[in-house]
Amino acid sequence: MKQTAESIRERFMKIGIDVPVEDIESRLDELIKKFKVPSNEAQRSVTNYFLKKYSIPKNEFYVRQAEPQLTKIVDIVENGQWANLNAKVVQLWENTHESISQVGLLGDETGIIKFTIWKNAELPLLEQGESYLLRSVVVGEYNGRFQVQFNKNSSAEKLTEPVIMGGGDFTPVAREAELRNIADLSGNQWATIRGKVVQLWENSHESIEQAGLIGDETGVIKFTNWASSELPVMEEGKSYMLKNVVVSEWNGKAQVQLNRSSSIEELDEDIEVRTSMFTYFGAMVDIQTGSGLIKRCPECKRALVKGACAEHGKVKGEYDLRIKAVLDAGTSTQDALINRELTEELSGISLDSAIAMAADALDPGVVQDKLKHELVGRYYTVTGHKLDRYILVESIIPSTSLDRELLDQMLSEHLAEQEVE
């Protein structure tokens, strides 16, 4: 307590006021011992008391603190602690929330730490690579890690001398993720992969630039290239090197996402993709609503419901033909999505004739009915990639002959058992 009292006295001495140390001590003593006030609160309260007594404006007093106590990043160990740092802005991240002005990493010779500058702190923007004296930042804890946050009381002053980083310069570009096989990818890591774009999907959301499947010799994985990553688009059937992609897991399956740190390089070679194709044999037992002649949003290619897109509202749709089928093997069922090309081939109904049929009947539902008549109740073998509960059908073959071999085999096995008895 004696020490606390001394430090308060020293601070007042600096502005030319000699406060008797006994006065400070007795006030501190009363607060801490009698009123059980925590010592840092008591210190502040006592300081404020004397500021008032000598009518010193609070702002003036605190700003006049000439040399701030500097904290090293490695010493940030307490949630709620206030600190002053000499640090370099190592990296600025993409802003994820409107109430945040800037977010990124700060570093000094002892370590790096995440920082967040809130909009309401009203601070000028920090520049990546520059060093600053950062006053009155608050230490917070999130997901078990410390970070510093800037608020209205914080300030940033650019330093002419750059802060030297510990352990060499930490620069994100210098770190390139390891090249990995697609089959070995699992959640929450950075990776570099090379593969062939097996399939590009209809875009389901405007924030997505491209999504689809990419494969190498070991397997196939879903990829998402976000519009915000500002990367070039890829073409189906071409091979690429995707550097610094993030592997995440969804519904127990790994997928890769491209962001601003990622890059796409087209490769000259043609990568052979190990097909993780899925084949299913069964009877088509249903064609679900949303099959037949449908309209899609011209923006995002989503199927329209009652002429409206879930994302873009009322739009002038583009006609398409597809089948959402249910195949059934007797012990399991499988949903299958059949695209326009295969639907036309399978049913003999072209998109144009489907449009004509619908116009004739004043009802697009006739196309779906016609498909049901033609296809339901028959046996098919479908092959394609599996996505969630659907097979994205790449080939669908109607059964055109009885499996004589199976028939003979079943009969002979059966008869054999009869003879034994």
Partner 1 sequence: MPGFFREPARRVFAKELKDSNLTSKDENDQYAPQYLLTPTGANVNRIFIVGTLIEKEDIGSDSEYWRGRVSDPTGSFLIYAGQYQPEAAQFLAECEIPAFVAVIGKTSTYTTDDGNVLTSIRSESIQQVDELTRNLWVLDTAKQTLERIRAVEAQEDPNSKLAKEHYSIDTEIYREMVKKSLETLKDNT
Grouping H, G, I as helix, E, B as strand and the rest as coil, residue 303 is strand
Determine contact, residues 220/276, Cβ cutoff 8 Å: yes
Shortest CB 410 distance to partner 1, Å: 6
Does 419 bind partner 1 (CB under 8 A)? Our answer is no
Shortest CB 398 distance to partner 1, Å: 9
Q: Which of 66, 173, 362, 402 binds partner 1 (CB under 8 A)?
A: 402
Report the DSSP pairing between strands 390-398 and 333-338.
parallel
Does 372 bind partner 1 (CB under 8 A)? Our answer is yes
Query: Which CB sits closer to partner 1, 119 or 378?
Result: 378
Binding positions for partner 1, 250-309, rule CB under 8 A:
283, 285-286
Query: Which CB sits closer to partner 1, 143 or 331?
Result: 331
Q: Which of 66, 173, 406, 416 binds partner 1 (CB under 8 A)?
A: 406
Does 415 bind partner 1 (CB under 8 A)? Our answer is yes
Separation CA 263–CA 134 (nearest Å)? 34
Q: Which of 340, 379, 381, 387 binds partner 1 (CB under 8 A)?
A: 379
Does 411 bind partner 1 (CB under 8 A)? Our answer is yes
User: What are the strands, taking DSSP E only, across 29-110?
Assistant: 82-92, 100-108
Residues whose CB falls within 8 Å of the CB of residue 36, separated by 6 or more in sequence, listed in order:
none
Segment near partner 1 (CB under 8 A), from 133-141, 161-169, 272-280, 370-378? 370-378
Q: What are phi and psi of 88, to 5 degrees?
A: -105, 140
Query: Which CB sits closer to partner 1, 56 or 326?
Result: 326
Shortest CB 406 distance to partner 1, Å: 7
Token pair, residue 220, equals 């196939």
Query: Which CB sits closer to partner 1, 267 or 329?
Result: 329
Residue with tokens 């976000």: 226
Does 99 bind partner 1 (CB under 8 A)? Our answer is no
Determine contact, residues 113/147, Cβ cutoff 8 Å: yes
Which region, left, alpha or beta, applies to residue 233 given φ > 0 means left and ψ of -120 to 50 means alpha?
A: beta
Whose CA is closest to 227, among 196, 248, 203? 203
> How far, CA to CA in Å, does 345 sit from each of 215, 321, 326, 367, 371?
27, 11, 18, 15, 12
Q: Which of 55, 96, 160, 400 binds partner 1 (CB under 8 A)?
A: 400
- Pattern 330-349, binding to partner 1, x per CB under 8 A? xxxx----------------
Burial (Cβ within 10 Å: 0-12, 13-18, ≥19) of residue 100: middle
Which residues make up the interface to partner 1 (CB under 8 A)? 283, 285-286, 326, 328-333, 369, 372-373, 376-379, 388-389, 399-404, 406-407, 410-411, 414-415, 417-418, 421
